[in-house]
Amino acid sequence: MRYSFVTNEKVMFLLPFKRGGDMFNLMRSEGRFTEDRARFYVLQIVLGLGYLHQNNVIYSDLKPENILMGEDGYVCLCDFGNSKLMNGGSGSKPNAQPVEGGAADYIAPEMIDDDNYGTSVDWWGIGILTYEMIVGFPPFYTGNRRNTMMFK
């Protein structure tokens, strides 16, 4: 992060430009990764999530579109719009926002059930992302854009 700005309603982060694009486009162009390459990316993401969790932040929106790629091959999380501060470690009440696009493949069950949730939602996302990196598609992929079967 280069800078942050605060208003009465929002916190904004200025991140460095990442010329490598995002993980979504990389995964779509290459299909799937070797286990070693997936491990390389996943470990970086785990370190980032661990830092956020140590600072009582739940990221809660892990998906390939929110992972930026540097020219050097290292990744960076972006889009903290759905992130939550933990209430004394007890979890967070979710925003009542609809699940959009590709996020449905990565959303944890407790978020679908509208329960309080904690850092486990980020670890769920890591599992889904790791599976997709190695296999080439998410584990609960149904081919249905409405995702009704997946949510059941």
Q: Is residue 102 part of a domain?
A: yes
| Known catalytic membership, residue 61 | yes
Q: What is the pLDDT along the chain (152 residues), one digit of tens a residue?
A: 677 888 898 778 777 777 888 999 999 999 999 999 999 999 999 999 999 999 999 999 999 999 999 988 899 999 888 888 887 655 555 554 444 445 778 888 888 776 678 999 999 999 999 999 999 988 887 776 666 666 66
Q: Is residue 13 part of a domain?
A: no
Give me the pLDDT at residue 37, please: 96
Q: Is residue 8 part of a domain?
A: no
Q: Is residue 46 part of a domain?
A: yes
Report the chain's terminal Cα–Cα distance, integer Å.
38
CB 78 within 8 A of CB 67: yes
Strand-pair category, 75-77 with 67-69: antiparallel
Q: Is residue 52 part of a domain?
A: yes
Q: Is residue 15 part of a domain?
A: no
Annotated catalytic residue within 61, 79, 105, 115: 61
Amino acid identity of 22? Answer: D
Q: Is residue 97 part of a domain?
A: yes
- Number of structural domains (the chain) is 1
CATH number of the domain residue 34 falls in: 1.10.510.10
The set of residues, in sequence order, having a beta carbon less than 8 Å from that of 38 and lying 6+ positions away, is 130, 133, 134
Residue numbers of the domain that contains 141: 20-151
Give me the pLDDT at residue 144, please: 67
